[in-house]
Structure formats: C-alpha cells, structure tokens
Amino acid sequence: MTAVGRTGELPPGAAEPADAAPPVAGAPPAGGAPPGEAEPSGEVALPAEVALPAQDALPAEAARTSAATIRVSGLRHHFAGPPPVDVLDGVDLEVPAGRFVSVVGPSGCGKSTILRVLAGLLAPSGGSAEVAGRSAVGRPGQVAFMPQRDTLLPWRRALGNATLGAEIRGLDKKAAEADARALFDRFGLGGFERAWPRQLSGGMRQRLALLRTFLAGLDVLVLDEPFGALDAITRRELQRWLAEVLGELSRTCLLVTHDVDEALWLSDEVVVLSPRPARVVARVGVPFHRPRAAGLVTDTAFVAAKATVLEALGLTE
C-alpha cells in the first residue's frame, strides 16, 4: 500500500498526467503524415493507454500470488484548480483477478480520476491504488487503459494505431498486425485498415481505440466509457464481444460507464459512487452465470438489481 503525499505530484521519473502525455523520441510516423497535414516534429506524445511498461519487474512469486488484481483503498484526490475541487473522498474498490467490475456515478464525481490513478498517470492526494500487488502510482504500463477521449495518433493509419500498444510493449509487429486485421471486421472497421483517423467517424474512432487497448496484450483492462459514443446496435455487438473475449481469456476489467444496463450485464459487481467528492454508496453483486443472454435484461432479478443501482444513484422517487 502506498500513501501519496502532495496533491497530484508524481515521484521523480514518473509519468506526467494524461493531459501532458509523456514525450517520447519518435521516428517519423509510419506511413507518413495524412494528406494535407503537417509532418509531426521528432517528439511524439504517446496516448495514455500505450504508456511504456514499468521498469522494475514484479518478482515471480509476487506475480503468482497477487495475480492480476486491482485494489483501491481510501483513495482521495484534490485538484488545486481553478476551481479547486475535492474529487475523491476515500474510495475503496477491488477487482479480483479475472473478474469484471463496473463503476457508475454522476458526471464529474471522479470516475475518470480513479482510472487515471490506476493507469499511473496521476498521483492521488491520499490512499492507495494497486495493480497486481504493486502501487500504480508513477507506474504507467501496468494496465491497458482506454481513456474517455480517444487518443489516436493522427499520423498513423488505422492499422498502425491498432498495433501501437503491442509495438511499444515489444511484441512481434507482424503477429500484432495479423491479430488486428482479424478483429477489424468484428469491430465494424473492415476495409478501413489503411484509413487515417480523421477519415473515421466518432464511433469508428472509439472502436479503434478499444481495439488498440485490447491488443496491447495486458491482463488488466481499465476502460473509461469505451462504448459511450456508439449507436445502440454497435454498442450491443461490442459489449457481447467484450464479454465473450474476457470469458475466454479471463482478463481483469474495470469499466466506467453511465449505462446501468451495460454495467450489470457485463459485470460481476457494480460499484456506485456518490456525487463529488465521490464515496462508494453501494456495491451491487451480479449473480448471473456466463455467458449471459441478451434477454437477461428483462429477468426479474436483473430488474431488481437495476432498481438497486438506480436507487443508489438517487434516480428513483
């Protein structure tokens, strides 16, 4: 457990906050700049979800015993502003290895702040955040993080963006490309492998960012509203895909969403946060077997669980 001292300050050598992604000496972009766009300079800002892995390796025994688990304890955060805001007020949550937990809460309560701490991009004012038994603070690259805003590199084609996380982790580029190509259709991106990000719709960009996060090949996924900009049909399709893939590969996943049905359908537990400064006001277990049928949403027990979440959110009379 690591308590952190001064607000938002990262230890020496740690990553900058996501707003100022770490600069990395970069070669000119693969495939050149998009037509009509200037060549980027030699320094390239990496998107947060492909931040470089932490330097120090986890001892084998610790890796085996702690597995891929997220543990957040007494997490507090204050942004100096302006305006100054107390965002988190002692948040506790846990995602056991291979499990899926969703976080729901009012807009602005601090959900993304929690994920940024877990991604090693923001040092909290207090409390601890651990991934696989190690503090996440100042250690980007322990989780595959999909930020709320997509961070596609405009000078890489869709395929190059999809494989970026895998490339940075040193995985085989050809294998990553083959994996990516196989998933382009599934993500509704078939035929757009050579498109530039600016030639994609908002929903397509979001799907590409999710694909990249997944292909980074890390066991712990931290997803900030990955389906937020999608139409209902694509959203459903990708929720199903995510549930299937996570079922097969048993990755650990923490998801932020505003969609209560989505949270319940995908998760083993839904954590409900209060308005800012966020506290956990409810934890709702989701005791349904997997794979889950689409029709589950009309099941009496599902409807009851949904009512519990909505009540905790203050959305029922």
Binding site for Mg ion (CB under 5 A): 111-112, 148
Q: What DSSP designation does 51 have?
A: P
CA torsion, ordered 68, 121, 31, 195, to nearest 10 deg: 80
Q: Which does 135 bind (CB under 5 to 8 A by kind): Mg ion, ligand ATP, none?
A: none
Nearer to Mg ion, 223 or 309 (CB): 223
Sole window of 39-47, 108-116, 174-182, 232-240 interacting with ligand ATP (rule: CB under 6 A): 108-116
**Helices 232-249, 202-215: crossing angle, 10 deg rounding:** 0
Closest CA to 184 of 200, 172, 168, 167: 200
The interface mask with ligand ATP, positions 228-247, x = CB under 6 A, is: --------------------
Name the minimum Å distance from CB 262 to Mg ion.
15
Which residue's entry shows tokens 């923490």? 254
Sole window of 29-37, 42-50, 81-89, 156-164 interacting with ligand ATP (rule: CB under 6 A): 81-89
With CB under 6 A as the contact rule, the residue among 12, 13, 81, 170 that binds ligand ATP is 81
- Residue 16 within binding range of ligand ATP, rule CB under 6 A: no
Closest CA to 267 of 239, 235, 232, 303: 239
Q: Which does 61 bind (CB under 5 to 8 A by kind): Mg ion, ligand ATP, none?
A: none
Phi–psi pair at 297, nearest 5 degrees? -65, -15
With CB under 6 A as the contact rule, the residue among 14, 46, 104, 110 that binds ligand ATP is 110
With CB under 6 A as the contact rule, the residue among 48, 50, 87, 221 that binds ligand ATP is 87
Phi–psi pair at 117, nearest 5 degrees? -65, -45
- Residue 111 within binding range of ligand ATP, rule CB under 6 A: yes
Please name the helix (run of DSSP H) or strand (run of DSSP E) that holds residue 232, with its range, or none. helix 232-249
- Check if the beta carbon of residue 90 is closer than 8 Å to that of residue 111: no
List contacts with ligand ATP (CB under 6 A): 19, 79, 81, 85, 87, 105, 107-113, 148, 276
